[in-house]
Structure 1
Amino acid sequence: MKCWLGVDCGSVSVKFALIDEDGNLLDSLYLRNEGITETVQRGLKKICNDDYEVVGTGCTGSGRQFLKIIMGADIVKTEILAHTIATLQYYPEARTIMDIGGEDCKIMEIRDGVLTSFIMNNVCGAGTGAVIEAIASRLGMRIEEVGDLALSSTQKLDFPGKCGIFCQSAVVSRLNAGAAKSDIMMGVVRALINNYLTLARGIQLSPPYVFQGATARNGAMIQALEEQLDHDVIVPPQCAVMGAIGIALMARESGIARTRFRGFHLDALCHRSMNFRCEDCPNQCEVTHLYEGEKFLGGVGSRCGKWDARPRVLGVPESGTGALAGAREDPVCITLSPS
């Protein structure tokens, strides 16, 4: 069966999705990001199916440029576009898309099936899932337990939501004052949502609202959103992998004649990375090159692009200014044992 593969590589997780010719989801996978190369290798191996013939691939997310090299992606697009395409595939009447990631968050405004504006915060983690996870860890619980516990809250508590550090400090104070963990977590969730919605200044939020990303599996987050929006929020069943679905749909529509996909079994290959700083100009780009054995696969980090498609040669500067500095090679081959 012909299929298209989408991979969304974020700072906290890597998501995989396979779709068929009609855009139906065949399979998906959500993994914690424990290193982009290792996680992608493991994910491709898990999602592999001999019945599927991958005829096109796409990647998105903050790690998309490096991911493109590792897996041999045919198209590379931003997560804003990927999330929008996936949402409109399932909810064509959607007007507001909300995504709270592990370390960033975004709001997209849709009108008549077209992305008209968006805003993204990837500078401060106060309105992201990282705050919830850090506080959950402080309270001795797993992030997966937060939603059910918070929904059992009986006392409304206020917390500062604009700064994750201040919020954590307030949590300790409340905990030491004898507040229930359920009340603390629901208060933190409400503070996070309140801070998140401040992003919407300048954007007209209107229903239907679609909430996606892994944090949308948290029932307390949904409740807090609905409280502040005073409206129901749609949560897709496949909310955690919507970015991967979106980029797979874009790959399907791109008319790829011949895929560059390197296969599901990258775990059998030996990859190594090499890092250096280019001093040809004041940018002093920090460049990473990826190799498969001795074969150069590509590079990321060069603003002008000159190191993207060619390897460097140690001791040979690119110009008369001594272009290479701080060269460091990671000699460790990244391989996975069979699981």
Structure 2
Amino acid sequence: MTNKLAQVENSASEKLTGSKEKEDNIFKHPLLVPLMAIFACILWGSAFPALKTGYHRFGIAADDIFTKMLFAGYRFLLAAIFLFVFQLLTGSKNSLHLKRSQLKFILFLGLIQTTLQYFFFYNGLAHTTGVKGSILNTIGIFFTVIVSHFIYQNDKINYQKIIGLIIGLVGVVLVNLSKGSFNFEFKLTGEGFIIFSALASSIATIMVKNSREKIEIIALTAYQMFVGAIFLIVLALTKVSPFTLQFNPGSIMLLLYLAFISAAGFGLWYVLIKNNSLGYISIYRFMIPVSGTILSAIFLADERLSFNTFIALGLVSAAIIVINLGKQSN
């Protein structure tokens, strides 16, 4: 009887292990990983037209930084709730259980990934042009690739990565130069804050990659978003009322969509960086500003596609192909 019970337990354990390995293999598959990374970046790119429309529907002025932070806080709070529900429905019974030793890491991650990143981003964008903001934001990609070179033995900088980075950067610059408003002025509270935002995102990415906490990645994403959202809301409430936003059916639908793309995008991205090299995955982020420009032209009446946009899309695609060829040769 005891032997039979042991056999049943071993069989169940093997099935669980096999299922976990199969799930991990999906997020390491050479064909599926690029598709999932591009999908996550397109989701983030769709936030550009959605945010622009959302600001109009919620009655948020272009220079109203604290109301934008309140809006972001609500957005990420909803995204965290979506992920909590998803984890409860699909994860194990105790998948959301936290140990006291994990709280410090989650608080720190939420503060950097959500609060600081978006505090610097919104404040920086208010003191510079969208063109410069989009270009300077790619500094985070270079920072991640360079730091990964020194941290990970299997993530060294090679010719393919260098070529991919250069081609991707040229693509981002090209798609933004077609919009004009580029100059070489530098302000700490403008361009400086955009760089701080990009670095905060990169640091958070490295933290997730290096995390040895025994917590499922979706649960980790949900908790850090929840913490970061609370910080953003509290910070915003020092200057504005919690009822500043103009809620109506249209604006609520947009808020729900933005929460969804945050939940899906960050959840998928964290899983990918946990299962793949940072230097390889990070270069896909060049797709965000390009897809944002294309989607803005499709959904916003005052935006137009230019010839530069298609060249930029081709360049970013070439960058992705180059780093994939390099990965396969390695």
Larger-Rg structure: 1
Q: Does TM, normalized by the shorter one, top 0.5?
A: no
User: TM-score w.r.t. structure 2 length?
Assistant: 0.24
Whose relative contact order is higher, 1 or 2, with alpha carbons under 8 Å and at least 6 apart? 2
Instruction: Select the structure that is richer in helix.
Output: 2
Tell me which protein shows more strand as a share of its residues: 1
